[in-house]
Amino acid sequence: MSRDRSPRKPRGLRGLGRSALTAASVTVLSVTASGCVVVHGEREIVPGATKSEAARALRDFTTAYNKANGANDPSLDADRVTGALGDIDGAKLKAGGRNQPGGNPNYVPLKLTDTEFSIPAKAGWPRWFVTDSKANKGRGEDRWLMVFTRSDADEVWQVAYLTISSAKEIPEFAKDEGGFARPVTADATDLAIAPGKLPQQYTAYLKDGGSAFAPGTHTTKWRSDRAKSAARPGLAQQYIDEPLASGDYAPVGLRTADGGALVFFTTRHYQKQTAAPGVPINVTNVDVKALLTGEPKQSLTLESISNQAVLDPPKSASDQRINFLSRIQGLTAARGQ
């Protein structure tokens, strides 16, 4: 099994890609003449970026995203993605490159418009901000929320989380006296669940159930679907869920106007299919084949990363259950034995 990576750094092959593998639907400042932010000190609470810097980061990301998708080449946006998004979409582009080595002739370039920027003021690193945009893909009522992050002033901004949700479901964010978004800490005690504990709480819920999460597609229904497919004639299914909560996968969140928080977090999932003697395991999905290592004579293990965005209510709320805003899950590896 793969391990958590070290704190955010530009890393290897990553990129956004085709939707085939998506399973469900982050001191004193001086500004130079070029517009770059220079940080002097680590203890003062300061904005993570200027609006112009955030807008430039969004443009740079979109340009790289479109190049990578058009060519099915994850190296073309490797320095613009990280964390859950980098894992999910790097695997998609890897599979796409093997299935369409000449590129994707049907790719329609992404265009993001009507963008709102939520930039937290905080001390120390990493720094991050959230963009909320209308896209030329998907449903007309959807908005794309992305978490841009970097761990020091010498790095470029990278997207760690992507959430796609209906505009009416996105909460109003709380602002400080300067008009900046209010970040929520990993150990916040005034929320139903501290953000840093959400990955572990969610994987525990998937295994054992409970009342921490509200019923829905990504909670009760997912558990029910797993139970139904756990034992089929000649084929047994096993599920292992792993919380990820550090480095590139650290949960991040913004305070909402109602006293709660919108939190982004990551989990890793394994689905192992084991066949009875004489029963073949047929792999028909071309993208699974593209990521497959080994030969599935007796078993096939599918590894995926899941990127969640949830509403974490304040402890003063009458309903303490966590509600899902969105979840994007993508296959990252397949192993046969």
Q: Is residue 69 part of a domain?
A: yes
Write out the two tokens for 104: 């994707």
Q: Is residue 9 part of a domain?
A: no
Per-residue pLDDT of the chain (337 residues), as tens digits, is 333 444 443 333 333 333 334 433 332 323 333 333 444 445 788 999 999 999 999 999 999 999 999 999 999 999 999 999 999 999 999 999 999 999 999 999 999 999 999 999 999 999 999 999 999 999 999 999 999 999 999 999 999 999 999 999 999 999 999 999 999 999 999 999 999 999 999 999 999 999 999 999 999 999 999 999 887 888 899 999 999 999 989 999 999 999 999 999 999 999 999 999 999 999 999 999 999 999 999 999 999 999 999 999 999 999 999 999 999 999 999 999 9
| pTM metric for this prediction | 0.87
Quick count: other Cβ atoms within 10 Å of Cβ 222? 18
- Per-residue model confidence (pLDDT) at position 23: 38
- Per-residue model confidence (pLDDT) at position 44: 83
- Per-residue model confidence (pLDDT) at position 42: 59
Cα gap 117→76, rounded to integer Å: 25
How far CA 196 is from CA of 17, 201, 245, in Å, comes to 29, 10, 7
Helix (H, G, I), strand (E, B) or coil at 308: strand
Helix (H, G, I), strand (E, B) or coil at 101: coil
Q: Any residues with CB less than 8 A from the CB of 302 and at least 6 apart, and which?
A: 270, 271, 272, 273, 288, 331, 333, 334
Quick count: other Cβ atoms within 10 Å of Cβ 221? 11
- Per-residue model confidence (pLDDT) at position 14: 34
Q: Is residue 2 part of a domain?
A: no
Domain count, the chain: 1
Q: Is residue 11 part of a domain?
A: no
Q: Is residue 176 part of a domain?
A: yes
Q: Is residue 4 part of a domain?
A: no
Contact between 214 and 313 under an 8 Å Cβ cutoff? The reply is: no
Sign of CA dihedral 96, 97, 102, 104: positive
Pairing of strands 127-135, 112-118: antiparallel
Give residue 102's domain range. Answer: 19-336
Q: Is residue 228 part of a domain?
A: yes
DSSP 224-242: HHHHHHSEETTEEEEEEEE
Residue in 113, 172, 129 with CA at minimum distance from that of residue 26? 129
Q: Is residue 243 part of a domain?
A: yes
